[in-house]
Amino acid sequence: MQITEFGNPILRKVAAQILPNEILQPKLQQLITDMHHTLAAKELGVGLAAPQVGESIALAVISIRPLPHRKKVERFEAVLINPKITETSARKYPMWEGCISCGPGKAGLFAQVPRYKRVKVTYFDEKGVQHHREFKGFPAHVIQHEVDHLNGTLFVDKVKDTKSFMTYSEYMKRAKKNVT
């Protein structure tokens, strides 16, 4: 799938809600499958929102998996349709973040973004089942990033310390040394 990059107006729109009767339709199911495949092909990508592939609908696919520079993360997979964050922990903590829409391959950008360590989310999955779940740690961080995409917000909007911005290659140097 073609990735929508920063500057494209679709990334600044609030995504349309998906009607419950649309969830099981072949077109949406195919989009979910295609988003899974696209995300699997991205080395750093752990989440992908539909606006990032040119569809302004409230859908996000998350696929967290261990990688050479991120060996200790636990596998986590989710499809979030019409997600709403209903509760958060009290404080935000900075964590390194990038975005597939920031530029192709090694042209990416990273920075520290403050996010809540715990969130409660209401959403539908790809089978149309509604969930009310609590997420903690890295999955909570990724979910907040993807929900922001669905609300027209980019991670660069949330960076508090602009001196933390760095390129893909600099981020990877630090990640390999486990400095990040």
pLDDT at residue 67, as a whole number: 72
Determine which one of 55, 97, 126, 146 is catalytic.
Answer: 146
Positive or negative, the Cα torsion across 70, 6, 160, 132? negative
- The count of C-alpha atoms lying within 13 angstroms of the C-alpha of 160, restricted to the half-sphere facing its C-beta, is 7
Q: Domain 9-176 falls in which CATH fold?
A: Peptide Deformylase (3.90.45)
Closest to 176 (Cα-Cα) out of 87, 70, 99: 70
Domain boundaries, the chain: 9-176
> pLDDT tens digits for 58-109?
999 999 987 766 778 889 999 999 999 999 999 999 999 999 999 877 778 9
Does the active-site annotation cover 146?
yes
Other C-beta atoms closer than 10 Å to the C-beta of 72 total 7
- Give the contacts of 129 (CB within 8 A, at least 6 positions apart): none
> pLDDT tens digits for 24-50?
999 999 999 999 999 888 766 899 999
Predicted confidence band of residue 161 (pLDDT cuts 50, 70, 90):
very high
Kindly report the pTM of this predicted structure.
0.93
